[in-house]
Each structure stands twice: as C-alpha cells, then as structure tokens.
Amino acid sequence: MDSYLGSYATLGLLLLAGFLVFAGAFSANRLLSPASPAEPAGKREAYECGVDPVGGDWAQAQIRYYVYAYLYVLFAVESVFLFPWAVVFDRPGFGMTTVVEMAIFVAVLALGILYAWRKRILRWT
C-alpha cells in the first residue's frame, strides 16, 4: 500500500477497526449487565468515614484554596523553566544574554509573589 490512495485505505481500516471495538464494548456491556441491579441500603448516601452524614450536601469552597493552587502551579512552571536554562547556561555563546532573560523572568514572578504577600493573600486564617 505505497500508493497515494493506499494511505487513505489504511486510515479507513484503522477507523473501522476502532469503531468496531467501540461498538463491541458497548454491546457487550448491554448484553452482560443486569437489567435491574440490586440497591443495597445506603448506597446513595454520602460517605463520611463510616459515620452517618450530618448537615446538607452543599459546601462553599474558599477562594484561598484556589490561590494556593495557582501559586503552586506558577512556581512549578518556573522550576520547569529553570532546569533547562541551567543546562544551556554553561554552553558557549549563551553567557550574559541568558542571565538577563532569566533575571527578567524571575523578577516578574517575584513581583507576583510580592503582590500576593502585600495583599495578604498568603495568610492562612
């Protein structure tokens, strides 16, 4: 199948095989699953470490959790950029330019953390 249309035939066969596996899996599920499964007592109750649930099922999440998660992602991305930079920095021809670029990058991140610190976002209450 080296011809131009042969590549389309290969793609078509692959798509057909994928659809057949998909349809077969759903058909097997429909045939093998019970018609009306048993519902044991308490199956649809909220699980709280074996204790009966107390209160409502709605809780408001505090924004500070999202801020901490965002700051974690921010500094994880920074570390992902710092490791390749440290490897390239030693190569000839990358001297002062790479130091200035990384200083600007770290300065922008430092300004962000300083802003969060001054607004007292990082204070856990």
Give pLDDT, residue 53: 62
Higher-pLDDT residue of 57, 78: 78
pLDDT tens per residue across span 3-31: 777 788 889 999 999 999 999 999 999 99
Give pLDDT, residue 40: 78
Contacts of residue 89, defined as CB under 8 A and 6 or more positions apart, other chains included, come to: 98, 99
Give pLDDT, residue 113: 81
Give pLDDT, residue 29: 93
pLDDT tens per residue across span 60-75: 777 777 878 888 887 8
Higher-pLDDT residue of 76, 18: 18
Give pLDDT, residue 116: 80
Contacts of residue 48, defined as CB under 8 A and 6 or more positions apart, other chains included, come to: 54
* CA–CA dist 22, 12 (Å, integer): 15
pLDDT tens per residue across span 84-125: 777 777 777 777 777 888 889 889 888 888 888 888 877 776
- This prediction's pTM: 0.41
